[in-house]
């Protein structure tokens, strides 16, 4: 047996992380919250994959960009699984395929100059599978690459995964979006509304059938209820929906991946209700959030009741996207113990740096968010915590957001430094800003219903900020 190694990870663990600091309060010693990050890293396990190779061309695959290789790839995976696992290798060439389903101890390895290109014909993604879409469980189209209830699975290599989505395939199902798809014949809206209604009514997810004819786009990679997952090195492009979507999975590593896809809802990496996750050395240039941590939507998220917790984002680059590191909006199961460090964010098309989005229908919340050593070039809003997303105050489930720590962050250009708005009956609590420099901010911040917003060595537009009134603030209506 051989262990898949995450290249340079041990070196990064030793060199990139800051040394733990102990804070003293009188006679008591208070642990640095970043000590927990070290423990999370140590706990994450990489998959163990046997050292056997199964090359898909040996099973009949042809990399000419025309032949359908779905059966050959399935045969290679079956042969590897029957022997106890191994690497299923996609060699150089362009290999067309339908959905790929992984088994225990399988590494789908895409070699350099290889492209695994998914055929954008929805009927190929039947029969339906148990999946999750925007935080709701149901029976839907298969994700392009799917693993359900598996242990020790990997997708690695220096090649490309192409989802085949474009302005003609998959993306028009979104409906009107950025001035496009206004005349789309079929859209997701009716099924999206009915699926949410089913979930609110308590219909069991096995009885929610939204595959054929529902127009709910599948995610690219989804590992559902899996353990010891590695996604490393590949470039992912032209995704129908979210790119990387681990759900209810434990010990997940996403390392050195390039997410380069600009369609609707093209989030880069969305761990949902996952525990012990490392997202490191990745590049995100996406049509929606770069990273969005989630835990289920509304009643369905509360029914499953599993938080996303113990998640590390390290040494990543965020380019275009709705947000750099985002929590929500589907966070009804809760989010806690999030660590983001040593990242670079910049693009005229990057809307927000760090964002929490929820409302009184989502409920849930975020606790113990720690962010440090972030370099931001151009962004619209640097720090956003917004309870007024979509339904806003219209619901009975008050969010809880508390213990938020921002340290050592430099931003060159922002419109707003902060857009932080809680409810009068659900305050946002305990936000600490330490060593924050914003060279230029052109609009006043928006802050309301926050308790304990603390400033320590904060500078905006060249002036020190020691309390909230030092900031230009938008007058509340």
Question: Among candidates 440, 374, 430, 385, which has minimal Cα distance to 407?
Answer: 374
What token pair was written down for 82? 């029957």
Contact call for residues 361 and 399 (beta carbons, < 8 A) = no
Sign for the CA dihedral angle at 206, 208, 213, 216 comes to negative
Residue in 322, 381, 407, 419 annotated catalytic: 322
Question: Quick check: is 322 catalytic?
Answer: yes
* Distance from C-alpha of 400 to C-alpha of 362, rounded to nearest angstrom: 11
The helix (run of H) or strand (run of E) holding residue 293 is strand 291-293
Give the angle subtended at the CA of 419 by the CAs of 416 and 421, to the nearest 5°. 165
Residue in 198, 267, 270, 288 annotated catalytic: 288
Alpha carbon 32 to chain centroid, angstroms: 26
Question: Quick check: is 101 catalytic?
Answer: no
3-class SS of residue 264: coil
Contact call for residues 332 and 358 (beta carbons, < 8 A) = no
Contact call for residues 363 and 395 (beta carbons, < 8 A) = yes
Which residues is 114 bridged to in the sheet? Answer: 93
* Residue 105 DSSP symbol: T
Q: How far is CA 168 from CA 121, 126, 218, in A?
A: 11, 20, 16
What token pair was written down for 425? 């009956």
Question: Among candidates 157, 152, 155, which has minimal Cα distance to 47?
Answer: 152
Q: How far is CA 348 from CA 178, 262, 465, in A?
A: 16, 15, 26
The total number of residues shown for the chain amounts to 477
3-class SS of residue 72: helix
Which strands form 209-210's sheet, in the order they lie side by side? 129-133, 136-140, 209-210
What DSSP assignment string belongs to 301-354? HHHH---EEEEEEES-EE-SBS-SEEEESSBTT-EEEEEEEEEEE--TTB-EEE
Q: Return the active site residues.
A: 288, 322
């Amino acid at each position: 047996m051989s262990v898949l190694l995450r290249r340079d990870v041990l070196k990064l663990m030793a060199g990139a992380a800051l040394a733990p600091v102990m804070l003293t309060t009188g006679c008591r010693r208070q642990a640095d919250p970043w000590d927990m990050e070290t423990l999370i890293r140590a706990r994450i396990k990489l998959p163990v994959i046997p050292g056997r190779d199964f090359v898909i061309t040996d099973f009949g695959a042809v990399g000419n960009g025309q032949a359908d290789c779905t059966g050959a790839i399935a045969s290679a995976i079956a042969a590897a699984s029957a022997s106890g696992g191994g690497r299923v290798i996609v060699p150089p060439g362009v290999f067309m395929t339908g959905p790929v389903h992984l088994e225990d101890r399988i590494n789908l390895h895409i070699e350099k100059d290889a492209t695994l290109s998914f055929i954008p014909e929805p009927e190929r993604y039947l029969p339906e599978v148990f999946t999750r879409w925007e935080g709701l469980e149901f029976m839907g189209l298969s994700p392009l690459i799917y693993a359900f209830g598996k242990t020790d699975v990997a997708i690695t290599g220096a090649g490309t995964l192409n989802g085949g989505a474009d302005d003609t395939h998959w993306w028009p199902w979104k409906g009107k979006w950025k001035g496009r798809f206004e005349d789309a014949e079929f859209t997701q809206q009716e099924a999206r509304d009915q699926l949410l209604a089913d979930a609110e009514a308590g219909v069991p997810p096995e009885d929610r059938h939204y595959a054929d004819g529902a127009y709910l786009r599948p995610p690219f990679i989804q590992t559902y209820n899996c353990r010891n997952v590695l996604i490393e090195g590949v470039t992912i492009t032209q995704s129908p929906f979210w790119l990387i979507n681990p759900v209810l999975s434990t010990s997940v590593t996403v390392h050195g991946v390039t997410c380069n896809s600009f369609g609707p809802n093209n989030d880069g990496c969305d761990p949902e209700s996952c525990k012990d996750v490392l997202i490191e050395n990745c590049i995100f240039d996406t049509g929606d959030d770069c990273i969005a941590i989630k835990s289920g939507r509304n009643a369905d998220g509360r029914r499953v009741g599993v938080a996303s917790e113990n998640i590390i984002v390290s040494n990543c680059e965020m380019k275009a996207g709705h947000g750099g590191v985002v929590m929500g909006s589907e966070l009804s199961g809760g989010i806690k113990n999030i660590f983001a460090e040593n990242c670079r964010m910049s693009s005229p098309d990057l809307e927000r740096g760090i964002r929490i989005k929820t409302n009184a229908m989502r409920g849930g919340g975020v606790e113990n968010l720690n962010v440090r050593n972030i370099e931001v070039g151009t962004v619209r809003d640097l720090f956003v915590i917004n309870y007024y997303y979509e339904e806003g105050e219209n619901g009975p489930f008050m969010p809880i957001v508390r213990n938020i720590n921002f340290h050592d962050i430099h931003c060159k250009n922002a419109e707003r430094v902060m857009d932080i708005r809680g409810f009068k009956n659900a305050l946002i609590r305990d936000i600490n800003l330490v060593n924050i420099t914003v060279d230029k901010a052109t609009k006043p911040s928006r802050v309301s219903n926050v308790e304990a917003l603390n400033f320590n060595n904060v500078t905006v537009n060249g002036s020190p900020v020691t309390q909230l009134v030092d900031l230009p603030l938008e007058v509340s209506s």
